[in-house]
Amino acid sequence: MADLTEAELHPLIESAAGVENAYRIATAHPAVAGIALGEADLRSDLGISDEAALAWPRGRIVVAARAAGLPHPRCPSTRTSPTWTDWQPPAAWAAGRASSAAPRSTHASYR
């Protein structure tokens, strides 16, 4: 059995409350190694279907992750960066941008 003290947590943010608390979730425990946006559930919670309506929540998750010292959000199913995080930050941010290999994870949802 795996040693649970070494497990990394990657919470999925899937609700309006989760987006509003993204930084608190990202810093809730030392085992949190990254956060990601659960877009399908968030769409349902917000009652939206427009892709453009997800721009702000996506940005909020990226900012919360980086402010917490975590890597850019990754797609939980593929452990790769989703298209919306493949942007180039301003030059002033680039120097502080951390890169990391895709970690092993335990997924949890915050609702």
* Per-residue pLDDT reduced to its tens digit, 43-71: 999 999 988 999 999 999 999 999 999 99
Who's near 101: CB < 8 A, 6+ residues apart? none
E strand spans, the chain: 9-13, 36-37, 106-110
pTM above 0.75, yes or no: no
* Per-residue pLDDT reduced to its tens digit, 34-50: 999 999 999 999 999 98
3-class secondary-structure state, position 85: helix
The answer to whether the CB of 107 falls within 8 A of the CB of 10 is yes
For 12, 82, 93, the CA distances from 76, given in Å and listed in that order, are: 8, 10, 25
